[in-house]
Chains A and B, each alone.
Chain A
């Protein structure tokens, strides 16, 4: 039995929202149309006077995510990433626009939607601080009414893949950040959610924990077709997990597409690192320029959108080649280049051309 056929939410009589229960609908799973969120910030201005100010944290965002997709949601601090996630989960009520997740309006039917989604906040735990993981999970099981066999199967899988075996009897407050994060991710997946939101899931983790988390997410997505939306500051997360990336800045979507397209828009360059047999003067091949020489090793920059194959062939043809590798550009630079272009932004970035006043 696959994990989606009986999510336990059909028992309360709500399965008439346009989605067949087999989970293979082609409809868009997450739909946003012109979503806005305006915060009213009150500041003390003098003894009794208060100043009211409106902050547009999210300023007219529209996108669609089909079922089973894994999407990265990135942008600078205060761009509106977390605010978007909070609206998607029903924590915050949008100030304008239309929003549907699995056909449900999150802010109107928050608790009903909650059975079908999993949420992980990198900055805070959804587990019970004073309880061992095992007790937290048992409570989650009863809250979500997860059938016994499914609960045991899911828990076993999480324990194995996330390496939680030794941690089940430790109170959450005694766990390290990496352990707690793994515990949180497991808790969010016990009820087989159809979509998983992760807000900074790798923040503050060491390299090993990061790799574990990424591997697990990839597996969950591949095996169960779980839709995943994650925000992150670590762009390796995106590189390794997401085919599609959305960039948000000042509450507006400024890019939505593949990682390669992001490079093209930003006009970024990849690097070909070649090891030659001996020290030689800078290599000269068409379509690339040598940016650095260090003994027999040389670095050649070429447009990220171009293919590396002809370049490699040209180098191998004219030089005594020992080894080579291609390095992707730092996406942080790519985004910076896209957000602050020297010239006019190209197609895809056009929506971000007019900027509003942001929250900071």
Chain B
């Protein structure tokens, strides 16, 4: 009898994740005021971030051919997708410290999947601030955009948010996995998560083709929002790719998750713990 069935493991993992998250939320709520201040701070920082872009538009009408509402759409989708991934898996960054000081050992002796424990470790509800801001901005942009809302476009918006969150989540897990080999991999991971979300807030048309090819075919961040958004906004792909490619985002997301999962397993098997 080998490992339990994958489905049972997934269920165990989600259950453990929920248990640990619930505990952290309860312990956060013991200091309600502190939580509210932190959550508002998180929200305000993100709002100011967009204010900078809005100010830019007081001098220009379009950026790379995109209007303010269209940029807000990109910003909102990328921000919400990243916010969801950050809320669910942002704690993965801490795994490096646990690997270095050997406290990962204490998680490994518990009867629940290690990924769930690491991901739920110190779950920070204040990260909701980013999601709220992203969602508000997305909502505002939708009221200002003049889009021909065909059914496929309507479906594509929630689909891209989910796929985007999964892609960013895979990058978090991948970053965590690499920390088993390179102790400072979290910096590289940050450049893809934080750096990636910042990049995706701007129209793809302002970037060089090489970069666009890179994030389409190598590290598929373009599938988070650029490619689906181009279809929703009815704009041509700068690389000349067909519009339907935006609909492949869920497949790309699943592929990313699979790769990240395998990398995590491989990393865990190389874990050497510490001396004592």
Say yes or no: A90-B111 contact (C-beta < 8 A), given A112-B4, A123-B276, A131-B27: no
State the main secondary structure of chain B at its contact with A: loop
Q: Determine whether the beta carbon of B1 is less than 8 Å from that of A111.
A: no
A214 within 8 A of B: no
Within 8 A of B (CB), among A106-123: 108-112, 114-115, 117, 119, 121, 123
Q: How far is the CB of B13 from chain A (nearest CB, A)?
A: 10
B239-276: CB near A (< 8 Å → 1, else 0) gives 00000000000000000000000000000010111011
Contacts of A109 in B (CB 8 A): 2-3
Chain A residues within an 8 Å CB radius of B27: 130-131, 135
A144 at the interface (CB under 8 A from B): yes
- Assuming the A-B contacts A16-B1, A78-B275, A112-B4, are A126 and B106 also in contact, with contact meaning beta carbons closer than 8 angstroms in the complex? yes
Interface stretch, picked from B16-24, B154-162, B193-201, is B16-24
In B1-57, the 8 Å CB interface with A consists of: 1-4, 8-9, 12, 16, 19-20, 23, 26-27
**Interface size of A by Cβ–Cβ distance < 8 Å?**
38
Which interface residue of B16, B111, B269 has the most chain A CB atoms within 10 A?
B111
The answer to whether B111 and A82 have CB atoms under 8 Å apart is: no
Min CB gap A239→B, angstroms: 23
Query: Are A131 and B1 interface neighbours, CB within 8 A?
Result: no
Q: Is the CB of A125 within 8 A of B112?
A: no
Q: Which of B26, B271, B272 has the most CB of A within 10 A?
A: B272
Chain B residue nearest to A103 (CB atoms) is B1
- The minimal Cβ–Cβ distance linking B180 to chain A, given in whole angstroms, is 13
Q: Is A53 an interface residue (CB 8 A)?
A: no
CA distance A292 to B33 in the complex (A): 71
Q: How far is the CA of A89 from the CA of B12 in the complex (A)?
A: 19
With A and B bound together, what is the CA distance between A200 and B108 in angstroms?
18
Check B218 for interface membership: any CB of A closer than 8 A: no
Q: How large is the interface on B (under 10, 10 to 19, 20 to 34, 35 or more residues)?
A: 20 to 34
The answer to whether A92 and B109 touch across the interface, beta carbons within 8 angstroms, is no
Residues of A within 8 A of B276 (CB): 82, 123, 199-200
A340 at the interface (CB under 8 A from B): no
Cβ-based interface call for A173 (8 A): no
Residues of B91-124 at the interface with A, using a CB-CB cut-off of 8 Å, are 102-103, 105-106, 108-113
Q: Which of A78, A111, A128, A135 has the most CB of B within 10 A?
A: A111
B1 pairs with A17, CB closer than 8 A? yes
Instruction: Report the Cα distance A17→B2, complex, angstroms.
Output: 11
Contact A124–B20 (Cβ < 8 Å):
no
With contacts A12-B8, A142-B19 known, is A86 near B105, CB below 8 A? yes
| A115 B111 Cβ-Cβ under 8 A | yes
Query: How near does chain A come to B10, taking the closest CB pair, in angstroms?
Result: 13
Whether the pair B106, A92 counts as a contact (CB closer than 8 A) is no
Q: Is the CB of A143 within 8 A of B4?
A: no
Q: List 13 A-B contacts (CB under 8 A).
A: A82-B276, A91-B109, A109-B3, A111-B111, A114-B109, A115-B111, A119-B109, A121-B106, A131-B23, A135-B26, A143-B19, A143-B110, A143-B111
- A interface, CB within 8 angstroms of B: 12, 14, 16-17, 39, 78, 82-83, 86, 89-93, 108-112, 114-115, 117, 119, 121, 123-126, 128, 130-131, 135, 139, 142-144, 199-200
Which residues on B are within 8 Å of A, measured CB to CB? 1-4, 8-9, 12, 16, 19-20, 23, 26-27, 102-103, 105-106, 108-113, 269, 271-273, 275-276
3 nearest A-B pairs in the assembled complex, by CB-CB distance: A114-B111, A126-B106, A119-B109
